[in-house]
């Protein structure tokens, strides 16, 4: 993950989105805001991690199902 991408993600998913949800859901305490911020930032992090895993070269030009099938066949031959 590049530094710029992390910085933008931190601002958007750690501040802007939680603040918007905090106001729209009419929350009142700081702990509620921090909970929303932690949840959105964590979900962004997990989604980014999964996107990184799926963009690995072993999956390029193949669907995940096709890659699993080929890996399974290769391992069963060993």
Residues with Cβ within 8 Å of residue 78, at least 6 apart in sequence:
none
For the chain, percent of residues with pLDDT exceeding 70: 92
Residue 29: alpha-carbon gap to chain centroid:
27
Distance CA(75)–CA(7), nearest Å, equals: 40
pLDDT of 10 over the 80 cut: yes
Task: Indicate the average pLDDT of the chain.
Answer: 85
| 23 vs 45, residue with greater confidence | 23
Under the banding of pLDDT at 50, 70 and 90, the label for residue 49 is: confident
Structural domains of the chain, count: 1
pLDDT of 4 over the 90 cut: no
Which residue segment(s) compose the domain that 25 sits in?
3-77
Q: Please state which of the ranges 11-15, 21-25, 58-62 shows the lowest mean pLDDT.
A: 58-62
Under the banding of pLDDT at 50, 70 and 90, the label for residue 58 is: low
């Amino acid at each position: 993950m590049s530094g710029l991408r992390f910085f933008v993600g931190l601002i958007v998913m750690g501040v802007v989105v939680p603040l918007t949800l905090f106001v729209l859901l009419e929350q009142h305490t700081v702990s509620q805001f921090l909970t929303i911020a932690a949840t959105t930032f964590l979900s962004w992090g997990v989604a980014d991690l999964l996107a990184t895993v799926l963009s690995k070269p072993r999956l390029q030009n193949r669907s995940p199902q096709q890659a699993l099938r080929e890996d399974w066949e290769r391992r069963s031959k060993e």
